Structure 1
Amino acid sequence: DETTADGFSHRVDLRLRPFGTAGRVALSFTGMDQYFQREGRDWERYAWLKARAVAGDIDAGEAWLETLRPFVYRRYLDFTALDGLREMKAAITAEVARHDRLDDIKRGPGGIREIEFLAQSLQLIRGGREPSLRER
């Protein structure tokens, strides 16, 4: 949380890495692939929907995203993923109510975040069989 006179560029929450605080800060592509295929969680699939290669070796980044595609977009319907999405939606709804944001156009019921959540849920559920839903 070090802030310069110009502010900060972005914050990185290192707890969100594979294996959390017990994991290495950086893994090889092979190590990452093994982690996601064996240990990856539903919220991580959801987060990787938006991933883009934007810096460094763009070709390597795009190759990594292609390697990760089977983790994010399952070929077959995953009922545990549906349960995970329900739990995530319930947590979002509870957070909105807790902060009294029911009239918030962005976070409230029917707001932008809810529409985005529904669209991304469709991507997760059907993207393995419908390539057009994988567009970034």
Structure 2
Amino acid sequence: MLAAIHNIMLHSLKAVQNVIINDVHSFECYGYDIIIDSDLKPWLVNASPSLSTTTIEDRNMKSRLLRDVLELAVAHDGVDTRRSFHPPELSATNGFEWLTNEASALEAEKQLTKKASRKNATEWR
């Protein structure tokens, strides 16, 4: 069931990946409301739930969520964030789980592009 929930999340993010703002100076926090039917099938109800709170428990949970997200997003160990992205070790993710890491795929694509441009430059001569 968790794999099906992860699949829902990945598909929804891939559907909007071209309109997601990709800026090293900011980040976005996405949330999902998912219900489970009687056959244990997950269904996406809301891909943008509110961070407003209605109860003390809700406020505590969302406060912890925001604290944990900020701990992941803000480099507080002196790491140069302009360098290649390396996801933190699982123990440093405060219980969050990496669904996908596109950084290695992007790096491989960058290397292929660089290699192709060098090849084209030598062929041109």
Q: Do these two structures clear the TM 0.5 threshold for a shared fold by scoring above it? A: no
Normalized per residue, which structure has more strand? 2
Rg larger in structure:
2
State the structure with bigger RCO (CA 8 A, min sep 6), 1 or 2.
1
